[in-house]
Structure 1
Amino acid sequence: MTAGTRNGAPMTAHLDVLAFDGEPFDALLGSADPGEEKQAAASPRAQQQPTEPRPDSDRPEPTASPAPRNEAAADQVADLIRDVRAELVATHLSAMAVQSALQRRALAALGRTRPGGSTTHPVTVAYTPETGLTVEPAQPGRALELPSPATTMSAFKALARTQVTSLDQAALAELAGGDIAAVFGAAYDQHGDNPDLRLASGAHANLTRVTELTRHGGPWHRGRLRAEYLAHTGDILGAIELAWQAAQVFALQTGLHLCLAGVRFHAGNTRSEVDIDAPLDGTGELILDVVSIDLIPRPWLRVRAELRKAGAVVARVRDLVLEIREAPGTPVAPEIGGVISTSFGRYNADGERALLNEFHMTHSARGDLGIALGPEFSAYAGRRATRMPNHGLQLCDRVMAVEGRRGDLTSATARTEYDSPADSWYYAETANASMPNVVYMETSLQSALLLGYFLGATLTAPEEDYSLRNLDGTATVLREVELRGKTIRQKTQLLSTTVLVGAVLQSFSYELSVDGEPFYRGESLFGFFNETALANQNGLDNGAFVPTWFDAQQTPPAFRTIDVAARRAEPGEVRAAQGHLALLDTVDVVDGGGKHGRGYLRAVRPVADGDWFFAYHFHLDPVMPGSLGVEAVLQALQEWALDAGLADGLTAPEFVVPAGLPLSWRYRGQILADDREMTLEVHIEDVQRRPGRVRVIAEASVWKPGLRIYELTGVAVELRGAGAEPW
């Protein structure tokens, strides 16, 4: 019997190997030649026959000498088996045909005519590997709302990187067999944690080749897949099967399954729509666009697809939702005390099992903290609690190891990893040749705060809603390094914890490395504050108002203005910061001014509710990252360096983060949306030159209205010419 196709090849159902035993077959099998007796005795089934009759059986115990057999009886058995098999196959095929016809009829009855003559069929799609796809009529209603297109900050970050963006029929067959790593590479190897995950085959239609797979393509910038198909029927079921297979291929290539163990594909219980304009049977092209994709509450994506023949659209599938879910009872979160006794399915490039992964980091940012860290944190649901930054500002992917025990806040160490894709938003938007300083800071600080949080810093007073704030630190870039497409590994050590009324203070040291070599090192102090403690911040000057240097002058000094926005619109030889990193539009300059008489810079940046960083840092506790305040200071310095002609004489100059120069910061306040503006000032200390390089060193402060809240020393920028030796 044939039950559809798998990658173009017919699939054989189990009816082809049916066997029959018991009454009346045992009686009919009373004769056979001696060879058949020996074969039967050697078969596994014969070996499993009980030597004693079951207590509930009326059958007599088999005798040692079976009754004589004859060829006529054997022929009777063969004829009977053949007849029964034929009847069963015919019945099964008839039932399948009736079921498909009933589905088509029910779906057609619910169809509604759209402009242009096509018919829309609202459906609900279900899927399990055992039953395959089933399609039921859905009551007409409003379709799902379309989200806004993804921005560079909200773009989904794939869990694995691969160069494979097209698949032939052999590769599709490997996916159908569950060998995902063989197709996409070693980064997809889950070491047997997901044995049941595989590409489905359709009874009505199948993909034959994937010609294009882009992760940020399509109108929503969340992904596009193009494929060729072969359809055996030209109806709704075939269209759904093709869209479903394409969604599975995209999910696998994106690595949605890599963050969980024991998973299978499921269809989201949502209302989808199918338009049929013309029969889609035969060969054609499918174009699938990803509308939404996320890891919360479990990995899922929502897609739309068009099916074309000879360039004309013959069918559309809208709002098909694919989910990846673990089997019931499979652990997905740490146990009480942060114990992790099982694999969650995630491995790094070296094949080392991760303790926590991107799924847990995403939940720690905007999902269920109980899933992220363990059941002790479930009580924070819906409360303003400590969270990791989210989306494009989430800069820790995996916790590989923790040496420490929850509740022991004296000392501990952790190893974490962050993958820095070459197409990350900050590489596209920075004025630097590589990673901007804000990402150096955020990557290192997020892994540090995660260690303290995991160990239970806020569990010292679980009834409190704690906000996390960085207080001070010092960090040094050890060497210039290209970080595009690299995995950053960090080792963090908890140095101390101080528990106060309404606050918990923790200090950490950390070292970041890539390709086995350190490139960044620092120490930092964090505070967990309840609402009362957070409201009592009094800035760097014990609550006193300290004006900027410019405002403190008895006679307002003469100044000129650098038009940063104009240079951004028409970049010169050295580009200006763009997009989300475009933090300043103007910088006022007092030549020869400031504390050191080398030059003084001042800039005012408006702050509004809609500023992008409030949505990303933090969920339910929006605050401007202190590292962005530091980044704004660095951009003012960069603009001054170019305006002062420091790039003149350098070949193909570009900005780099200075190596070997410690940057220190102190934060004693925060920028909130209702502050409405941030003011910064920079005092130039020194301009240093070496062959092919120029470095500017300064000190700086940042104000919110009425209060000085940030202080920076050793803040610096550097211009590097092509081929220049390290500083």
Structure 2
Amino acid sequence: MRVFVEHGPRGILTAAIPKILGDQPHVAVALDAQERRGLRALAETVAKLWVNGVPVATDGFDARIEALRSQQGGARAETARTLSFAGHWPDIVDVPGATVAEAPAAPPRVAAAHTAGPAVAPPKVPEPVAVSPAAVSPAQNESAQMPAPETTGAAATIAAEAAPAQYMPPAPSYPPALALPQTVVTQTEYVTAPAVAGQAVNIAAPAAVGDQTATALGIVDSASAAHTAFVERQAQAHAAFLQTREAMLAMVARRRGELPGRVVARSAPATTVVTAPPVAAPAVTAPAAFVAPVTPAPASAAPPASAPAPVTPAAARPAPVAPVPAPAPPAPSQEPAAAPGTVLFSREQLEVLAGGKVSEVFGPRFAEYDNYERLVRMPEPPLLLADRVISIDGEPGTMGTGTIVTETDVDPDAWYMHNGRMSPGVVIESGQADLLLASWLGADFSNRSDRVYRLLGCDLTFMGELPKGGETLHYEIHIDGHAKTGDTRLFFFHYDCYIGDRLMISVRNGQAGFFSDAELADSDGVLWDAADDAPREGAIRDTPPQVTTKRSFSAEELAAYVDGHAYTCFGAGFERAAAHSRTPSLPKGRLRLFDEIAEFDPEGGPWGRGYLRARAHVPADSWFYSGHFKNDPCMPGTLMADAATQALSFAMAAYGFTIEHDGWRFEPVPDEMSRFVCRGQVIPNADHTLDYEVFIEEIIDGPTPTVYAALLCRSDGFKVFHARRFGIRLVPDWPMPPGAPGPVHILEGTTDVRGDYGALLACGRGMPSDAFGELYKPFDGTRRAPRLPDEPYHFVSRIISVDSPPGVPTKGGTCVAEYDVPADAWYLADTHSDAVPLSVLIEILLQPCGWLSSYNGFAANRPDDVLFRNLDGKNITQLRPALVGTLRVSTTMERYAEGGGSTICFFDVVCTQNDEVVMTMNTAFGFFKPEAMENQVGLKSPQFTLDGLNAEAPVNVEYLGPELSGAPYLHQGRLQVLDRVKFWPGAGDAGLGRAVAIYDVHPEAWFFKAHFFQDPVQPGSLGLEAMQQCARAAARLAGVADGATHFEQVAHDQSFDWSFRGQVTPLAKLARSAVEILSVETDERGTLVVFNGTFWVDDLCIYETKKMGVRAVRA
């Protein structure tokens, strides 16, 4: 067996050996693999060698481990070999009486540097003096040396063998550092070089100096004079540049609401300028070793993270990375800067840069670009997401550093929107102008169409909610540096994105490069394997609420979920999700990025915490290839990232977290850095299959359920994208966007409670505080507010007045509401009538009771969430039909009682139309803890038993069968709440007959979605309607309605009562209405049938009505 041990960094050779040897026996290990570093990885590598029969001497290794355990740190023995060096050369003595030009200090503020002084002729530069080793005498050479520290043992032997020895003299004595008061220190992103004036300063010097020192000082004088000339020549032009730049930044700062005239950097500046009052600068007396300027890392709003070494794609087969020499100080740009209040490049110009001649926008300097087929470009539409460039800071064509500021307007109707929000991947992609900046800086002067741009990865942190329609994203993108590895040039960038003054996303350690086709084709892909990794210590895995029983999902099932039908997708256990008004789901259209779920194992994967694999079929004509990029089509890595996060969101739904979170949305966990790695490409050379793998790491239940996972994308089995730890959570949202539409009507006696239609719709499905102002702010988060019904079962048009204060339970408090009955109302068509049907009229009277209860603060004043249910109705009497027009409802809270964690409210309600009474009632509602509704006990029915409901009947008909068709009509459409009818002629105590009507409860029934948002139950009014319709069917089957043209909505002038002691939820299977006829009377108004009725859900009686009437009217 052949054994290979790679000692160098990473594991590039180790990965290549299996490709070369194939199935030949061998073992290859890397001691410093990039993905697995540290002591554990080293131990595992040594163990792998040992189990493959390689002799391994472990004594020394064990000794070092023991030393570490005993906190000895593996100290070297005294006899260890060492090399000793002196730290500095000896002092260089100044020449007596020597003088140098003094450099005046920079002005107190940067702005002062904008005033250019008079032109200064460059001083004559002395001829350089050539110094060779022969020019220095041995004596001088010896005098420059110093004794080395004493060495013994092996160290002395090494020192003796290293002849002739060279020693570094001690450090020179430099003048002390200039001390500056804090008040004169400012920061900017650019270095302003101070001009050097010609005032001489005499510096005292030691009395004697050697020839070598004099020669060195001559070189210093020459360099100083040359530098002085250079700085003076640049001063005027650079001052003009700074003046323009400060004006632009001041404009941007004012636009974002900061102090006028003050530039506030969004991220830490790349360099620091120190300015101070004029102070005489001491002359430098000897050349110092060159020290590369240190650029502070930009400050991030994200949690601090260690910056990784620049990562190069395995495709590059890199040589050691060598920094690219820093560009010379930039000369003033000849390109015009954007004036305040304008943009540098418009959307139209960006489209030219994405697909046309670059020189048409960048100018003739870039005419060479127009000769190349492939360029560094931003994508063409629809993936061109930037709408304008505000400014560019960076010298064109230099491949230096720079900054670009862009803006993106979030179109509410754009393809990238989902439930009113921008998708995470598109947010990342919108920071795409690093390509434009790289192009501006001259990338294609080197690429020449032979190399193309590819993103390698970044560390990104979402800072809060995703952008919504109508907002503008402000991106500040910085290219921080460049490097080369072999022939491959890399660059490093970061950016911040703001919405107004809110930091929305921060990207750090961005890495991209320019690669040849061969390098891209030869990539090793992502070097990560879940089997070699593990969840972090202390990772949480709470029990999911309801895990689907399915282990894969077809394209049809996935499509159902995308369309909002979670129950159809996930099946049994998800019935409550069927009633969602807007279930948390995945995007449609172009952002539908995978086709099926090939595998779901809720406790699977290498970590045993859950695994999901989503599969996408990517044809060669996929939409994103067109324009991304022109003549260089490839799938955006940001879309791979978006698809992977969608797969994680689907896993979260499959665990049941969306069931109790109707209207909520998926969103990245804020303030946590995630590292994205791209190491491959998907191009249209063939159809591809992409697998998005989700390795669950943490499941955290709670007010905002959260799931963390490692994400991996494979293209035809090849790993191309990886995010080690990414979190998705569910956050509160509402089907109706926040900010209820106007016109706004603030109720008299309140400061922020609205009575207009928009606010009332918000009571049904919007943000609670849009309806009740500050009183309901606690419900704008994760708490659940009591709701009014939503459309189409919402029957309050406006609140006219209320005479009690908000948030204060008030006995005798009254509100006046109105409802406008439209001529084309759906319920008029469903009932073949011009009068409002019973169920709708009941709701018109009950819904203001719900509004007044919320206004009184019964729910808002409690620390826990409650459910709102109707309990009783007494003395309900309809006097005349409610017709098209405006109905006015006066609702008075007579009293309330609290006890046992519940609150019961009693109301007196009167409905009028054109000042005539339509209906009156007394009714009671209650606020209950959710657990109080879980174990229903129902009502005891005196007329019916389960045996009676299930008994065989002599008459069995379909609800709209021939026997029940025609006039007088029964309800249809939404108000058809019966499927089948059983009738017993002559049955009951009065011998007039009894009937049972049945309908099957479907979890996706329309009324669950309307009544109530996040609390789906069948309206009690529809239970009353079901009993009324059952009695009408009995009247027709008994023959007492023969010849009638229509039924009254409920028998006028016939008072009745009801009691509700239960609820129909999406979990119910069967609902039955049972009626027993008490009397039949005929007069000039028609035939009146009076009955008692009960309503059953499955095997429990939950509603009861007494002495309700049906009147069949004849022409």
| Structure of greater relative contact order (alpha carbons < 8 Å, 6+ residues apart) | 1
From 648, 659, 666, give the equivalent of 2:1059.
666
**One-letter identity of the residue aligned with 2:997:** A
**One-letter identity of the residue aligned with 1:576:** L
User: Cα deviations across residues 519-576 of structure 1 (Å, max 9, x unaligned)?
Assistant: 11111010000123323542223xxx988357259x95752113213249x9423333
For the Cα contact (< 8 Å) 1:647–1:653, is it kept in 2? no
State yes or no: 1:384 paired with 2:784.
yes
Alpha-carbon deviation of 1:374? Answer: 2.4
Secondary structure at 1:713's aligned position in 2?
A: strand
Instruction: Identify the residue that residue 717 of structure 1 maps to in structure 2.
Output: 1110
User: Cα deviations across residues 86-114 of structure 1 (Å, max 9, x unaligned)?
Assistant: xxxxxx9xx99x9796488579869xxxx
For the Cα contact (< 8 Å) 2:911–2:919, is it kept in 1? yes
Instruction: Identify the residue that residue 340 of structure 1 maps to in structure 2.
Output: 750
Secondary structure at 2:843's aligned position in 1?
A: helix
Instruction: Identify the residue that residue 499 of structure 1 maps to in structure 2.
Output: 898
Alpha-carbon deviation of 1:409? Answer: 3.1
Q: How does 1:484-523 map to 2 (within 5 A)?
A: 484=884, 486-523=885-922
Secondary structure at 1:498's aligned position in 2?
A: strand
Instruction: Identify the residue that residue 367 of structure 1 maps to in structure 2.
Output: 766
State yes or no: 1:467 paired with 2:467.
no
For the Cα contact (< 8 Å) 2:831–2:972, is it kept in 1? yes
**One-letter identity of the residue aligned with 2:1103:** Y
Secondary structure at 1:408's aligned position in 2?
A: coil
Secondary structure at 2:1026's aligned position in 1?
A: helix
Alpha-carbon deviation of 1:633? Answer: 0.8
For the Cα contact (< 8 Å) 1:433–1:654, is it kept in 2? no
**One-letter identity of the residue aligned with 1:414:** C
Instruction: Identify the residue that residue 417 of structure 1 maps to in structure 2.
Output: 818
For the Cα contact (< 8 Å) 2:1086–2:1114, is it kept in 1? yes
State yes or no: 1:599 paired with 2:993.
yes
From 795, 801, 804, give the equivalent of 1:401.
801
User: 2: CA distance between counterparts of 1:440 and 1:108?
Assistant: 62
Secondary structure at 1:664's aligned position in 2?
A: strand
For the Cα contact (< 8 Å) 1:122–1:137, is it kept in 2? no
From 839, 854, 859, give the equivalent of 1:453.
854
User: 2: CA distance between counterparts of 1:487 and 1:583?
Assistant: 27
User: 1: CA distance between counterparts of 2:767 and 2:848?
Assistant: 19
Alpha-carbon deviation of 1:706? Answer: 3.5
**One-letter identity of the residue aligned with 2:883:** L
Alignment CA distance shift 1:331-1:418 (3 Å): closer
State yes or no: 1:694 paired with 2:1087.
yes
User: Cα deviations across residues 472-503 of structure 1 (Å, max 9, x unaligned)?
Assistant: 0125444333522x111111111001011210
Secondary structure at 2:977's aligned position in 1?
A: coil
For the Cα contact (< 8 Å) 1:363–1:372, is it kept in 2? yes
Alpha-carbon deviation of 1:590? Answer: 0.6
Alignment CA distance shift 1:101-1:439 (3 Å): closer
User: 1: CA distance between counterparts of 2:409 and 2:945?
Assistant: 72
State yes or no: 1:634 paired with 2:1034.
no
User: 1: CA distance between counterparts of 2:738 and 2:928?
Assistant: 37
For the Cα contact (< 8 Å) 1:418–1:487, is it kept in 2? yes
Alignment CA distance shift 1:644-1:331 (3 Å): closer
User: Cα deviations across residues 394-442 of structure 1 (Å, max 9, x unaligned)?
Assistant: 1112111111123233220110111121222211112555211001111
Q: How many pairs were matched up?
A: 424
State yes or no: 1:435 paired with 2:836.
yes
**One-letter identity of the residue aligned with 1:626:** G
For the Cα contact (< 8 Å) 2:811–2:896, is it kept in 1? yes
For the Cα contact (< 8 Å) 2:979–2:1000, is it kept in 1? no
Alpha-carbon deviation of 1:124? Answer: 7.6
For the Cα contact (< 8 Å) 2:1078–2:1092, is it kept in 1? yes
Q: How does 1:38-117 map to 2 (within 5 A)?
A: 102=349, 105=352
Alpha-carbon deviation of 1:579? Answer: 1.5
Q: How does 1:176-191 map to 2 (within 5 A)?
A: none
Instruction: Identify the residue that residue 1007 of structure 2 maps to in structure 1.
Output: 613
For the Cα contact (< 8 Å) 1:429–1:581, is it kept in 2? yes
User: 1: CA distance between counterparts of 2:851 and 2:931?
Assistant: 23
User: 1: CA distance between counterparts of 2:900 and 2:810?
Assistant: 16
Alignment CA distance shift 1:432-1:634 (3 Å): farther
For the Cα contact (< 8 Å) 1:433–1:656, is it kept in 2? no
User: 1: CA distance between counterparts of 2:905 and 2:418?
Assistant: 44
Alpha-carbon deviation of 1:385? Answer: 2.9
User: Cα deviations across residues 188-246 of structure 1 (Å, max 9, x unaligned)?
Assistant: xxxxxxxxxxxxxxxxxxxxxxxxxxxxxxxxxxxxxxxxxxxxxxxxxxxxxxxxxxx
Aligned-pair identity (%): 25
User: 1: CA distance between counterparts of 2:811 and 2:1019?
Assistant: 27
User: 1: CA distance between counterparts of 2:409 and 2:948?
Assistant: 74
Instruction: Identify the residue that residue 675 of structure 1 maps to in structure 2.
Output: 1068
**One-letter identity of the residue aligned with 2:1107:** G
User: 2: CA distance between counterparts of 1:546 and 1:647?
Assistant: 27
Q: How does 1:171-320 map to 2 (within 5 A)?
A: none
**One-letter identity of the residue aligned with 2:844:** T
User: 2: CA distance between counterparts of 1:676 and 1:636?
Assistant: 19
For the Cα contact (< 8 Å) 2:1096–2:1102, is it kept in 1? yes
Instruction: Identify the residue that residue 152 of structure 2 maps to in structure 1.
Output: none
**One-letter identity of the residue aligned with 1:702:** F
Alignment CA distance shift 1:141-1:665 (3 Å): closer
Alignment CA distance shift 1:574-1:141 (3 Å): closer
For the Cα contact (< 8 Å) 1:429–1:577, is it kept in 2? yes
Alpha-carbon deviation of 1:681? Answer: 1.1
**One-letter identity of the residue aligned with 1:622:** P
Secondary structure at 1:504's aligned position in 2?
A: strand
Secondary structure at 1:674's aligned position in 2?
A: coil
User: 1: CA distance between counterparts of 2:1030 and 2:740?
Assistant: 50
From 546, 563, 566, give the equivalent of 2:958.
563
User: 2: CA distance between counterparts of 1:621 and 1:505?
Assistant: 19
Alignment CA distance shift 1:571-1:109 (3 Å): farther
Alpha-carbon deviation of 1:512? Answer: 0.7
Secondary structure at 2:874's aligned position in 1?
A: strand
Alpha-carbon deviation of 1:378? Answer: 1.9
Secondary structure at 1:463's aligned position in 2?
A: coil
When you count strand as a share of all residues, which structure comes out higher?
A: 1
For the Cα contact (< 8 Å) 2:1047–2:1110, is it kept in 1? no
**One-letter identity of the residue aligned with 1:503:** S
User: 1: CA distance between counterparts of 2:817 and 2:410?
Assistant: 48
Secondary structure at 2:1031's aligned position in 1?
A: helix
**One-letter identity of the residue aligned with 2:947:** D
Instruction: Identify the residue that residue 1019 of structure 2 maps to in structure 1.
Output: 625
For the Cα contact (< 8 Å) 2:778–2:860, is it kept in 1? no
Secondary structure at 2:860's aligned position in 1?
A: helix
Secondary structure at 1:673's aligned position in 2?
A: coil
**One-letter identity of the residue aligned with 1:500:** G
Alignment CA distance shift 1:701-1:654 (3 Å): closer
For the Cα contact (< 8 Å) 2:953–2:982, is it kept in 1? no
**One-letter identity of the residue aligned with 2:960:** A
User: 2: CA distance between counterparts of 1:430 and 1:679?
Assistant: 21
Alpha-carbon deviation of 1:701? Answer: 1.0
Alpha-carbon deviation of 1:448? Answer: 1.3
Structure 2, unmatched stretches of 5+, are 1-338, 358-379, 388-406, 421-588, 592-622, 624-662, 665-736
